[in-house]
Structure 1
Amino acid sequence: MESKDERTSNDQIMESIRSLTGNDAKTFLNLIYALLKDNTNPSEHLVSQVLSIYEKKIPRVVKARQDRSSG
């Protein structure tokens, strides 16, 4: 399990979400919906999967877009 220091702060998560395009947001929402709809995992694993989207995947997309636009 990650320590509190290793986890992305709520402020960082919210900033990443604000930086998404409309299409990005729809894609992530569809991904989360698919996880919830087809859930066969224990609830702890489901929460971990959804949290991973917010803490890891969304910031990666935002960073890649920023890198691409500044390069």
Structure 2
Amino acid sequence: MESKEEHYSHDHIMESIRNLSENDAKTFLNLIYALLRDNTLPSEQLVSHVLSVYEKKIPRVVKTRQNK
């Protein structure tokens, strides 16, 4: 089981991005767009939120898809 604080290497994140399905990629782009469009956070928090999509959410989705 993954811990909430697990971080992935840059190479692992890039590999995860390459392994996204087209629909998953569009969903993540829409999520990032919504974070940017509706931003009311200080810039540091905004960057942190967007990075968490890349560092945590994308690898988890890819891992889940591969385990099915």
Same topology, TM > 0.5: yes
Q: Distance in 2 between matches of 1:63 and 1:19?
A: 10
Letter of the 1:27 partner, please give it.
Answer: T
Q: Distance in 2 between matches of 1:58 and 1:18?
A: 10
TM-score between the two structures when normalised by the length of structure 1: 0.84
Residue 51 of structure 2 corresponds to which residue in structure 1?
Answer: 51
Report deviation, 1:7. Answer: 3.7
Residue 40 of structure 1 aligns to a residue in which SS? coil
* Structure with higher RCO (Cα < 8 A, 6+ apart): 2
Report deviation, 1:10. Answer: 1.4
- Point out 4+ residue stretches in structure 1 off by more than 3 angstroms: none
1:22-61: CA deviations, max 9, x gaps?
0000000000000000000000000000000001000110
Structure 2: 5+ residue stretches without partners: 1-5
Q: Distance in 2 between matches of 1:16 and 1:49?
A: 18
Whether 1:25 aligns to 2:25 is yes
Count of residue correspondences:
63
What percentage of aligned pairs have identical amino acids? 76
Q: Distance in 1 between matches of 2:7 and 2:43?
A: 20
RMSD: 1.0
Whether 1:16 aligns to 2:16 is yes
